[in-house]
Amino acid sequence: MTRPQFDQAFSLFPLSEIIQSAGSKRKVKRLLETFSCTRNMDLQEFLHDKAITFETNLRSRTYLYVDNTTYEVAAYFTITISTLHTENISPEVIKLLDGYKDDVASIPCFLIGQLGKSDIFKPQKIGEYILNDAIEIIDQSQESLGGRFILLDAINREQVIKFYEANAFFPIEKGTDLESIKMIKPYFSR
């Protein structure tokens, strides 16, 4: 996939590098507060209020797309290792995910915890680029460590679910009453 216009307009930085080079937490916080996402306030609040703490406490890794002209955060994603708790998942799906048993209480996985773009991108479709970058970083870890799947919680809207399905994720739970749906991208064949 070519994306020259996207690559020329933005630079991707690990938040950990920005924290190391900035010299002060206040400077980093000001940068993070340039991100605005009124469509999903959870994305905005995480970046503004939690990302630095999660990064410095080694709970996750956040990657920022910074506009090369305005030096504002245009998009970001956060990834981590996690555990999928299986209490609401069928035994067949548990065995598929675990690869061994169908009665485990939790299964280790990689997690895309946050993935979003700023309001300035509302008309532009850049989600696939962001998702592919997150998956590429996870893939590098998976090759070294193993792991059976990537997990994410998708907002339970048809358009969002279809976007992730088009990018090799599938839902492991269903329900129109759910706010979000757990989806996975396997490293194994279904």
pLDDT value for 189: 61
Domain count, the chain: 1
* Residue 63 is assigned to a structural domain of this protein: yes
CB 111 within 8 A of CB 80: yes
C-alpha span between 108 and 44 (Å, rounded): 27
Query: How do 10-14 and 180-186 pair as beta strands?
Result: unpaired
Range of the structural domain that residue 26 is part of? 8-186
* Residue 83 is assigned to a structural domain of this protein: yes
pLDDT value for 1: 44
pTM of the model: 0.90
* Residue 3 is assigned to a structural domain of this protein: no
CB 46 within 8 A of CB 78: yes
pLDDT value for 4: 42
pLDDT value for 177: 80
* Residue 153 is assigned to a structural domain of this protein: yes
State the CATH number of the domain containing residue 55: 3.40.630.30
**What is the H or E stretch that residue 185 is in?**
strand 180-186
* Residue 2 is assigned to a structural domain of this protein: no
| pLDDT string in tens for the chain (190-residue length) | 445 455 678 899 999 999 999 888 999 999 999 999 998 899 999 999 999 999 999 999 999 999 999 999 999 999 999 999 998 888 988 998 998 888 899 999 999 999 999 988 665 678 899 999 999 999 999 999 999 999 999 998 899 999 999 999 999 987 778 888 999 999 976 5
pLDDT value for 140: 95
pLDDT value for 98: 92
pLDDT value for 190: 52
Instruction: Return the half-sphere exposure (C-beta side, CA atoms, 13 A cut-off) of residue 175.
Output: 10
pLDDT value for 2: 45
C-alpha span between 150 and 157 (Å, rounded): 20
Per-residue three-class SS string for the chain:
CCCHHHHHHEEEEEHHHHHHHHCCHHHHHHHHCCCCCCCCHHHHHHHHHHHHHHHHCCCCEEEEEEECCCCCEEEEEEEEEEEEECCCCCHHHHHHHHCCCCCCCEEEEEEEEEEEECHHHCCCCCHHHHHHHHHHHHHHHHHHHCCCEEEEEEECCHHHHHHHHHCCCEECCCCCCCCEEEEEEECCCC
